A and B are shown apart, each in its own frame.
Chain A
Amino acid sequence: MARQRRNTPQPKEHHALSIVNVSKSYGTAPALDPITFDIATGERVALIGHNGSGKTTLIRIASGLLDATTGSVSIAGHTAGSLSARASLSFIADQPTFYDDLTLWEHLEYVARLHGVETWEQTAADLLGHLGLYDRADDMPNRFSRGLKQKSAIALGFIRPFDVLLVDEPFVGLDASGKEALLELLADATTQGSTVVVATHELSFVHTVGRIIALRDGRLVYDGGTDGINVDGLVRTEDPAGEHDGERQ
């Protein structure tokens, strides 16, 4: 039996992220079986699973970018996709997207101001400096390499306020210094009380979280702590050991 995290019902307190019976089908092809879990404020969670396990689908539903076929998602008590949920949630997608006609600095200004941030310049300069992008601020991010695009997307994800940060495969294409900078930013966000959920295979991040949620073939197969967990076993496509390969060793 897959290990499930038991959540004590707390009707009056909103979870940072609440997924209730969420499923998704593309036409007749199921992508996610009904999944339910909650993530408390300030938690740091790794969402893991093999390719095609449903991580990106789940994280996109949580961000409001995809409509769930069944179930509901709430962000800090607000329905995913609603105005309040969008204000509370920052989403860094696996495929960075930029305007063709705006520089990185203009992107930062735009995103910050869209979110009502009036004093954004210093934060933007700090972020760019931290990610090693300061010299590229006046370049067009759409023409950047994969790694620089990823760093730019990270900067855009952090230039605005958030209570919940959803990140999909952020380490792909990043060099060692980029990974280090991102890990520091994620740690900083948690320190300041934000909830961080990262879909990743990056072990250096997985080992820093307090909780792992594992998906396999669109099903939730593990939700619990990280102590002694066999992460490799959780991301396998097959389940040769039956139901227990996510067990602690």
Chain B
Amino acid sequence: MKMDVRPPILGADRLSVEIGRHSVCRELDFTLQPGDTLVILGRNGAGKSTLLHTLAGLREPLRGAVLLSGQPYGAWPRGHEACLRGLLAQSQPDFFSATVLETALVGRHPYLGRWDWESPEDEAIALDALAQMGLEGFAERQVPTLSGGERQRLAIAALLVQQPRLYLLDEPLSHLDLHHEIAVLEHFRGLAASGSGVAMVLHDINLAARYASHVLLLDGEGGHVFGPARTVLTVERLSAAFGHPLRAVMDGETSLFVPV
């Protein structure tokens, strides 16, 4: 086995997160290595987005620490963390019109000095990311003219333009049709295979089973289970976490979870 001296991309050290009086997780420990894909599952209101924001360093935990590439957020030079981790927010409000290319280019912000303008190289990165999300030819379109699914792919393209090591995705599949759901998940599987880390909130248990290397299951009351996807995703645990009975249907080697 090859020795990896690099610290894990993301780590939680006895992490406790609360929102209001509601406990999201207590004493959570996990690490995410390059190549790992973590899926966070839990019922509505369990605090998945809150936890993701905490992991992104946008929110102080109640106790414990989040380690980004081995260091707490505060230890990184200000602004540098944006070159290391990127967050896909759950919704992308647009109050003012902008072109698709301008929107994708915001991902270059962490790399530009205060007075810099985007260079032709930045523009090439943005156009490439748009093409990867199936948005070639959209560069000059106004964002408000896009469909919901196109906007979601644009938001993902802007995140790809940021080129972080760690991708934190809050419901990346919202508004996407079946084809684009799989295409997006395959794209992030490819990024993980080339050494990135991916942590995402999903709602589809079967897609989680197919794409996750690790799963974090929140029970909605501060309890949690973390581990390799195969050991966490069991009928008993999922039924308890979602408060609805499930059963497993075998399809060859894979089991599919179906609500009863």
User: Are A and B a genuine interacting pair, yes or no?
Assistant: no
